[in-house]
Amino acid sequence: MEHKGEKQDFAARLEGIVARSCAGSHPAREEILFLLGQDLEGDKAQLVRRRARALALEVTEGTGRVWSALGLDSRPCSMNCAFCSFGEQWGLVREEHIWTNEEVVCTARLAVAGGASWVTLRTTEFYSLDRLCALAARVRAEVAGDYALVVNTGELDAQAARQLLEAGVTGVYHSLRLGEGTSTRFDPKVRLATMTCVRDAGLQLYTMVEPLGPEHTNEEIADRLLVAHACRASLSGVMARINVAGTPLGGTKQVGEALLCLVTAVSRICAGRRVRDICAVPPTRAALESGANTVTIEIGAIPRSEVTSYRTAWNDFGLTQAGALLREAGYACAVPGEGTTV
Ligand code: SF4
């Protein structure tokens, strides 16, 4: 049982961390660990989540946003990340499927018309950069609207990042993933170098704590939040790992919602007033009530599913559902209601 004085001390320390973060001083690793170290079902974790929600409503002025991602290609990938259904060793994806430019432009147009704030062109690791730039330029030319055009693709050097910028891309999603170098064959330094090139080119960088599994420690989570800060990410948050049947992680345990919500809340507190948008995947009302204001909708090739390509929104979570969930959680959003086709 927690004593009243102990609760007050906790609340005071939490307020101190939030106040300093909002004043521009990112929480130290030890402070992040303090917040993450609370009993997930206890009162203190609930307090952290409620405080993060209040901060989210203040920083976003109550505005929820939708991130749309279009998986451009489904094909076996020789990098064989343990959590990805495209790993060629797992044998889940045997045939290539690549979305046509027309399909991509049409889907992007529907997403933007429906109120999505980001259009992300997501590829496997070795998708042609020239092709991606040409496609981005075409989306930019043919899809009018106020939206961020993002790519989520392979490693980039300075020249590749500049090429994307010149094609009309405004930002890149990239992350130093949990377990990088052990669950993946990537050298963490290479992933970080890509993130630096993105920022140096003048592109926005988006990154999250991902893919979160139950074996990841609070120390690893804290370190990823510090990476997001060091890289001056424009969006952060957390994505739970889906353990796809047929991959090495198939059938293993997934993280629970309470952990996802606490990491969401701590992401929000770390963001202070520097970063407006915090995303939680999967999108849940509890996560939106714990500091997230952004949800994702996905279509096309999905690395977190044994089904290789979707013609409609993955998990039946499209713009209509995203808008409804954001509103349920108390956010206003630009996404309309019924009749949206993405
Ligand atoms: S996560 Fe990316 S690099 Fe890793 S196997 Fe999947 S497509 Fe390849």
- Separation of 75 CA from ligand 1 center, angstroms? 10
Atom of ligand 1 lying closest to residue 184 CA: 4
Is the shortest distance between the CB of 79 and ligand 1 below 6 Å? yes
Among 72, 85, 86, which residue has the most ligand 1 atoms within 8 Å of its CB, making it the best to mutate? Answer: 86
Beta strand 204-206 pairing with 171-173: parallel
Indicate whether 332 pLDDT > 80: yes
pLDDT at 278: 98
Model-wide pTM > 0.85: yes
User: What is the whole-number distance in angstroms between the Cα of residue 79 and the centre of ligand 1?
Assistant: 6
Res. 338: pLDDT tops 60: no
Residues of the chain with pLDDT > 70: what percent?
A: 97
pLDDT tens sequence across 73-132 = 999 999 999 999 999 999 999 889 999 999 999 999 999 999 999 999 999 999 999 999
Please tell me the total count of domains within the chain: 1
Local structure of 25: helix, strand or coil: coil
- Integer angstrom CA distances of residue 319 from 117, 123, 305, 325: 11, 21, 20, 10
* 137 domain residue, yes or no: yes
Q: Does residue 244 line the site of ligand 1, with CB under 6 A? A: no
How far apart are the CA of 259 and the centre of ligand 1, in A? 25
221 φψ region: left (φ > 0), alpha (ψ -120 to 50), beta (else): alpha
Ligand 1 atom with minimal separation from the 87 CA? 5
Q: Tell me the CA–centroid distance for residue 144 and ligand 1, in Å.
A: 31
- CA–CA dist 240, 187 (Å, integer): 22
Confidence of residue 305 (pLDDT cuts 50, 70, 90): confident
Paired tokens of 33: 């660990």
Chain length of the chain? 342
Strand partners, 206: 173, 235
C-beta neighbour count of 108 within 10 angstroms: 27
Residues 6+ apart with CB under 8 A from 269: 17, 18, 21, 27, 35, 48, 51, 52, 55, 291
Which structural domain, as residue segments, surrounds residue 176?
27-328
Contact 197, 155 (CB under 8 A): no
**Is residue 170 one of the residues assigned to a domain?**
yes
* Range 143-154 average pLDDT: 97
Query: Using one digit for the tens of pLDDT, what is the confidence trace for 237-295?
Result: 999 999 999 999 999 999 999 999 999 999 999 999 999 999 999 999 999 999 999 99
CB burial of 215-225 (b: ≥16 within 10 Å; e: otherwise) equals: ebebeebbebb
Per-residue confidence (pLDDT) for residue 109, from 0 to 100: 97
Query: For 196-209, what is the mean pLDDT?
Result: 98
Confidence band (pLDDT; 50, 70, 90) for 337? low
Structure tokens at 277: 């948008």
The mean pLDDT value of the chain amounts to 95
Cα 267 to averaged position of ligand 1 atoms, centre (Å):
25
Instruction: State both tokens at 30.
Output: 């030890």
Q: Which is the closest atom of ligand 1 to the Cα of 83?
A: 1
Would you say residue 5 lies in a domain? no
Please name the helix (run of DSSP H) or strand (run of DSSP E) that holds residue 326, with its range, or none. Answer: helix 319-328
Q: Residue 182 belongs to a domain with what CATH number?
A: 3.20.20.70
Residue 337, domain member (yes or no): no
Distance in Å, CA 154 to ligand 1 centroid: 8
Residue 247: the pLDDT is 96
What is the spatial distance between Cα 325 and Cα 342, in angstroms, rounded to a whole number?
A: 16
Identify whether 12 is part of a domain.
Answer: no
Pull the structure tokens for residue 175: 């992350």
Token pair in block for residue 16:
């101190």
Q: Which of 104, 142, 100 is nearest to 120 (CA)?
A: 104
Q: Within a 10 A sphere around the Cβ of 271, how many other Cβ atoms?
A: 27
188 in Cβ contact with 196 (< 8 Å): no
pLDDT tens sequence across 32-54:
999 999 999 999 999 999 999 99
What 3-state class would DSSP assign to 22?
Answer: helix
CB 336 within 8 A of CB 69: no
**Which residue's CA is the closest to the ligand 1 atom numbered 6?**
84
Q: What is the pLDDT of residue 2?
A: 62
3-state secondary structure of 128: coil
pLDDT (0 to 100) of residue 5: 87
For 24: left if phi > 0, alpha if psi spans -120 to 50, otherwise beta; the answer is: left
Q: Which pLDDT does position 309 carry in this prediction?
A: 67
Tell whether 20 is covered by a domain. no
Asked if residue 196 has pLDDT above 60, the reply is yes
> Domain for residue 340, yes or no?
no
47 Rama sector, left if φ>0, alpha if ψ -120 to 50, beta otherwise: alpha
First to last CA, the chain: 49
Atom from ligand 1 closest to the CA of residue 123: 7
Spatial separation of the C-alpha atoms in residues 12 and 131, rounded to whole Å = 53
> What is the distance between the alpha carbons of residues 323 and 335, in angstroms, rounded to a whole number?
5
Residue 333: pLDDT band by 50, 70, 90 thresholds? confident
